[in-house]
Structure 1
Amino acid sequence: MSKRKGRSAEFVKWFGPLLDALRQLGGSGSPREVSAKIAENLQLSEEQRDEILQSGQNRFHNQVAWARQYLVWEGLLDSSKHGVWALTSKGEEATLSVSQSREVFRKWVKIHAQARKKSETEKTRTVAPEADDEVDSPEVAEAAEKTDLLQVLQSLTPHGFEKVCQRLLRESGFEQVVVTGQSRDGGIDGYGTLQINPFVSFKVLFQCKRYKGTVSRAQVGDFRNAMIGRAEKGIIITTGTFSSDAVKEASRDGAPQVELVDGEKLVEMFHRVELGVKPKIVYEVELPFFEPFMK
């Protein structure tokens, strides 16, 4: 994508819709819920919702995440790091037109430019994109390890990925987890038992897809067909993404439910159980605090 100096980044168009979506969700929501509500409100096409960047990120989610970051800087959303986006009291009353969104964008690009000039030796900071939205979203950049976890998972052998998923399921509370993937058992790579309480447990089948592509609706349907008569619950784990139609198919009424774990959620699960990763503290500069002192 070509850059033109002074042109607003494409993600600016989501500022207003993001605020509207959060209000409709009651003032807060997960990133996935917010993106889904925006897509629903604006009737985005499947192509718009499912486009993938070269980095492997979903373009739409990437842009919405950057929009959220600017609204945090503007004080309209809080800066929670717990996977929930929420309106501040200021944000609850705010509406942004396209022109107002551009003003917010330009304001924070200018503030970041001033901060860079005053601190060229700063080693780590959240860089505000000026016109190119094809960069990692702030949340992805913030969570990335020195060696990107998703890239490591994508570099595993197919059987190695199945085995590490087996370990992840065990760490997440599953028991009797068995990998059967090498037998190509109708698309089923393994199964396990999830104990809900001392009285209730159920069998869960899982499938592992180690690639950067998008899992289609047909692939979800094929997996469900392989589940019939064998389990009431299934999980598809991928280092890629799921198409919008695949998400709908997974939760279709009257059919066995299929849980979908895409690359982003997979990384979150590894972080949650601290499997193959080590936690570290990262301090991020809160530029809104310093804004009054830059004038």
Structure 2
Amino acid sequence: MVVPKLEKMYLPLLECLKDGKEHTSKEINDFIANYLEVSDEDRMELLPSGNMEIFRSRATWTRTYLKKAGLIKSTSRGIFVISEDGKKILQNEPESIGLELFLKNETFREFYLGKKSGKKDNSTPSDIIEGTPQDSLEEAFQKINSDLADELLSEIMELSPTFFERLVVKLLENIGYGGSLVNAGEVVGKSGDEGIDGIIREDKLGFDLIYIQAKRWDIGTTIGRPEIQKFVGALAGQGATKGLFITTAKFSKDAHDYAKKQHTTKVVLVDGQLLTKLMIEHNLGVSIENTYEVKRIDSDFFSD
């Protein structure tokens, strides 16, 4: 299942604390996960940036929101208890709790809408999008990278096939293949190349080689099993045990299944979507425009 949205976590958190006892952050997170039937696997799903688990991020913001709204209190670092206002909410046996309830609290309004900054806000609960600031940042991050990936593919499609082959070798060098050796990778693609477009050393000393087939094909093209079979045959002709088929197009399910079944020859398939993701991640063909640092409290600093 998908990790529940923030608004789904408000009520389970209050239910966890309704016994009036103190509970740790871990106890609260475990209770919410059990209440909403979130599996251990789903709890490990990361935000797009890869910096934190989605579930833990949303659970943390849930505690923050309820605390700002005066429904729970923190008695010490990482320890929480329900407040009198929180108990009153549960007495009505609500089926759910929404952001509109929190916005009735002036402290929460100032925190959420930023009224202390001097801005006049006429928003109503129905105008406000539920979710954490972290979610908003992650969604914006995804959108920017998605648009960038589309632009990268468009640029690549304007290049010559030879340039694309060089781009692939350079990408692998940026990832770390070939180590620090001079000429760690080379472009082979030419008449008589027998289906091999490039070669890259897998390690710094060049003990093993990875053979590459790079195809700048139309983005809408689907590459099937026959092309992968040809590539495996080309690898066998070179006595190679490792091959990378990288393209701007996409692969069919049969192509992926066939590649996975190879035992004597390891074959990795990289389509246009993964190609652009790797280019962005390893700064090939892109440059950093802005850097934003998102910081959180250092609990260890304030502990005894």
- Give the alignment's TM-score, normalised by structure 1: 0.51
Task: Describe the superposition over 1:97-138 as per-residue Cα deviations: whole angstroms up to 9, x where unpaired.
Answer: xxxxxxxxxxxxxx998359xxxxxxxxx8xxxxxxxxxx97
Partner of 2:29: none
* CA distance 1:83–1:161, change in 2 (3 Å): farther
Is this contact kept in 1: 2:212–2:243, CA < 8 A? yes
1:28 to 21, 44, 48: 44
TM superposition shift of 1:239: 1.2
Equivalent of residue 240 in structure 1, options 231, 236, 249: 249
Matches of 1:112 and 1:236 in 2, distance apart?
Answer: 51
Aligned residue number for residue 207 of structure 2: 201
Q: Give 1:86 deviation, angstroms.
A: 4.3
Conserved 8 A contact 1:159-1:182: no
Counterpart Cα distance in 2 of 1:269 and 1:85: 21
Residue 179 of structure 1 contacts residue 189 of structure 1 at CA under 8 Å; is this kept in 2? yes
- 1 CA distance for matches of 2:271 and 2:282? 17
The answer to whether the 8 Å contact 1:227/1:234 transfers is yes
Which residue does the alignment assign to 1:271? 280
- Structure 1 distance, partners of 2:237, 2:52, is 37
The answer on 1:223 being equivalent to 2:239 is: no
Match of 1:132 in 2: none
Using structure 2 for the length normalisation, give the TM-score.
0.50
1:186 to 194, 199, 202: 194
The aligned length equals 190
8 Å CA contact 2:149, 2:277 repeated in 1:
no
Separation in 2, partners of 1:273, 1:26: 27
Give the unaligned 5+ runs of structure 1.
1-13, 30-77, 92-110, 117-125, 127-136, 284-295
Tell me if structure 2 keeps the 8 A contact 1:210–1:239: yes
Alpha-carbon distance in 1 for matches of 2:56, 2:196 = 45
**Counterpart AA for 2:49:** K
- Give the drift of 1:141: 2.5
**Residue matched to 2:160:** 157
| C-alpha separation in 2, matches of 1:269 and 1:148 | 14
Matching residue's letter, 1:81: S
Seen in structure 2, the aligned counterparts of structure 1 residues 171 and 259 have a Cα distance that, compared at 3 Å, is: same
Correspondence 1:210 to 2:216: yes
Contact 2:187 2:197 in 1 (8 A): yes
In the other structure, the counterpart of 2:49 is 81
Summarize the Cα distance change of 1:147–1:82 in structure 2 as closer, same or farther, 3 Å threshold: same
Q: Which has the higher contact order (CA 8 A, sep 6+)?
A: 1
User: Which amino acid letter does the alignment assign opposite residue 151 of structure 1?
Assistant: S
Q: Is the 8 A contact 2:199 2:211 kept in 1?
A: yes
CA deviation string 1:58-109 (max 9, x = no partner)? xxxxxxxxxxxxxxxxxxxx64512887444879xxxxxxxxxxxxxxxxxx
Offset at 1:273? 2.5
Separation in structure 1 between the aligned mates of residue 280 and residue 243 of structure 2, nearest angstrom: 22
Task: Give CA-to-partner distance per residue, 1:134-153, whole Å, 9 cap, x none.
Answer: xxx97753203398112111
The residue that corresponds to 2:144 in the other structure is 142
2:263 match: 254
1:114 aligns with 2:127: yes
**Identity rate, percent:** 26
Contact 2:3/2:42, CA 8 A, preserved across alignment = no
Matched residue, 2:82: none
What code does the residue aligned with 1:243 have?
Answer: S
Q: CA contact under 8 A between 1:209 and 1:239: conserved in structure 2?
A: yes
Query: Which letter maps to 1:23?
Result: S
Q: Distance in 1 between matches of 2:51 and 2:250?
A: 19
Instruction: Name the counterpart of 2:289.
Output: 280
